Amino acid sequence: MVSGALELALWKTISVGQMVPPRSIQNVDFWKNPWDVGGLTVIGLFTSTFLLFILFAVVFGYVEKAVFEEE
């Protein structure tokens, strides 16, 4: 149960029909810390390298199969 004074304070800050501003999705403190940004960069590079290796394996696997079938 909310006390009377607290309820009155809440109604003064948020009146009926007034939109509450949305909270920021991005955390500014995260982007100011170089260790966090560096860690995110390393994770992104690792993921993209792994996907690139898979792409090369698929492409050269099909090329090798096509060359093998022609002979």
Span 8-23, pLDDT tens digits: 555 555 555 666 666 6
Domain definitions of the chain by residue range: 28-71
Give percent above pLDDT 70 in the chain: 55
Residue 40 pLDDT grade (very low, low, confident, very high; cuts 50, 70, 90): very high
Output Rg (C-alpha) for the chain, integer angstroms.
Answer: 28
7 has pLDDT over 70: no
Q: Which residue has the higher pLDDT, 63 or 58?
A: 58
45 CB neighbour count, 10 Å cutoff:
10
The Cα 14–Cα 7 span in angstroms is 11
What is each CA distance from 36 to 21, 40, 44, 45, 52, in whole angstroms? 27, 6, 12, 14, 24
